[in-house]
């Protein structure tokens, strides 16, 4: 049984986390979000003691994966990721990609609030954003 690790993040906005995960290919309709925290499941379907507000079910994380969870603690969103998934299905590469896409979503959300348009380009894995007048 792979234990869950708790990762601090810079995330504070659920909408931006969800949009970033969707952009990574996780189906929005598969994500479970609740103000009331729910238990995460291990790869055998066993309920774990870790709880989360946002859960990506294990079947969408990988064939032998555990649920991936995000929990709001003191105004910050933390990530629950199993040791197994950290090295196989949700590696540092994916964690960094989520971080970059979250930042992109926060900029898009702020620009929309200010009624600004944003030109987004991606080249060689880098996201470039330009706020237009």
Extract the runs of DSSP E, i.e. beta strands, from the chain.
4-8, 32-41, 47-56, 68-73, 76-82, 117-123, 126-132
pTM: 0.91
Does residue 118 carry a pLDDT above 70? yes
Residues 73, 94: Cα–Cα separation, whole Å: 22
Give the residue from 42, 43, 88 showing the smallest Cα distance to 64: 43
Average pLDDT over residues 39-47: 93
- Nearest-5° Cα angle at 101, 6 to 21: 65
Categorize the per-residue pLDDT at 132 as very low, low, confident or very high, splitting at 50, 70 and 90. Answer: confident
Q: Which domain holds residue 96?
A: 4-132
Categorize the per-residue pLDDT at 1 as very low, low, confident or very high, splitting at 50, 70 and 90. Answer: low
45-57 b/e (C-beta count within 10 Å ≥ 16 → b): eeebebbbbbbbb
69-103 pLDDT per residue, tens: 999 999 999 999 999 999 999 999 999 999 999 99
| Residue 12 falls in which region: left (phi positive, over 0), alpha (psi -120 to 50) or beta | alpha
Average pLDDT over residues 15-42: 96
Average pLDDT over residues 10-19: 97
Average pLDDT over residues 105-113: 94
| Domain count of the fold of the chain | 1
Name the more confident of 109 and 63. Answer: 109
Does residue 40 carry a pLDDT above 90? yes
């Amino acid at each position: 049984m792979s234990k869950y690790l708790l990762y601090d993040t810079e995330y504070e906005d659920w909408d931006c986390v969800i949009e970033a995960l969707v952009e990574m290919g996780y189906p929005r309709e598969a994500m479970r979000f609740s103000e009331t925290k729910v238990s995460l499941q291990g790869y055998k379907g066993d309920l774990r003691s870790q709880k989360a507000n946002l859960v990506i079910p294990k079947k969408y994380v990988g064939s032998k994966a555990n649920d991936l969870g995000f929990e709001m603690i003191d105004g910050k969103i933390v990530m629950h990721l199993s040791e197994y998934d950290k090295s196989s299905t949700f590696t540092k590469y994916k964690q960094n990609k989520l971080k970059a896409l979250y930042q992109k979503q926060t900029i898009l959300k702020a620009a929309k609030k200010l009624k600004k348009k944003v030109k987004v380009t991606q080249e060689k894995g880098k996201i470039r954003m330009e706020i237009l007048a």
